[in-house]
């Protein structure tokens, strides 16, 4: 059974416990003054004049039963819609950053762009994975695109590669096919 207190009874109860309650806070405590008083006893420093702010603080603590959290940064989406050009710029920027990392790891390799493959037999390239087959990839850089093939033990490495990954590969050209001999990843 829920007891409803009158304003006079609440004021007397607060005075009996050593508190004076403001007129604005009184309507907030009419339904459960004992709970509010027990919450007030936990406040440091212990207030004498109880205001609406004190009551809201106690009620807010009771509502929050989980861990305390703090908002570090609110992400606000831009008002303008995202266009294809924005997506392309993002991918190009991502490609350039990962390409720089992979270039440092592959500095001793014969690193060339895709459009220069016809002149080499053993070489390395860096590109974005555009298509993935059972034993091949379509790899693209800013100069073009090429199909590369995985054979033997390299097929297990192919399983780890996903679309839109930026990878570096060491290759060997045999006739008109390009076979992957080593793969360089830059995992996030």
- Least confident range from 7-16, 90-99, 107-116: namely 107-116
In this structure, are residues 35 and 28 in contact, taking their beta carbons and an 8 Å threshold? no
| Residue range(s) defining the domain that contains residue 111 | 85-184
Is 70 part of any domain? no
**For 48-78, how does the pLDDT look when each residue is reduced to its tens digit (9 = 90+)?**
888 888 888 887 754 445 567 777 777 776 6
Q: Which comes out higher in pLDDT, residue 47 or 63? A: 47
**Total number of domains in the chain:** 2
Is 169 part of any domain? yes
Residues 173 and 90 both lie in one domain: yes
Residues 59 and 96 both lie in one domain: no
How much is the pTM? 0.54
Is 24 part of any domain? yes
């Amino acid at each position: 059974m829920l007891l409803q207190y009158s304003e006079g009874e609440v004021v007397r109860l607060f005075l009996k416990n050593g508190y004076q309650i403001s007129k604005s806070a009184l309507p907030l405590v009419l339904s459960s003054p004992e709970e509010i008083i027990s919450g007030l006893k936990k406040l440091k420093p212990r207030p004498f004049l109880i205001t609406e702010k004190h009551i809201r603080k106690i009620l807010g603590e009771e509502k929050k039963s989980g861990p305390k959290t703090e908002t570090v940064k609110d992400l606000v989406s831009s008002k303008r819609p995202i266009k294809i050009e924005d997506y392309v710029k993002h991918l190009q920027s991502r490609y350039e950053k990962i390409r720089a990392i992979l270039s440092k790891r592959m500095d001793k390799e014969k690193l060339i762009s895709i459009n220069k493959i016809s002149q080499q037999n053993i070489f390395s390239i860096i590109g974005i994975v555009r298509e993935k087959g059972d034993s091949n990839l379509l790899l693209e850089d800013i100069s073009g695109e090429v199909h590369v093939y995985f054979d033997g033990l390299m097929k297990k490495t192919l399983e780890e590669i996903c679309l839109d990954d930026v990878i570096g590969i060491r290759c060997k050209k045999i006739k008109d096919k390009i076979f992957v001999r080593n793969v360089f990843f830059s995992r996030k």
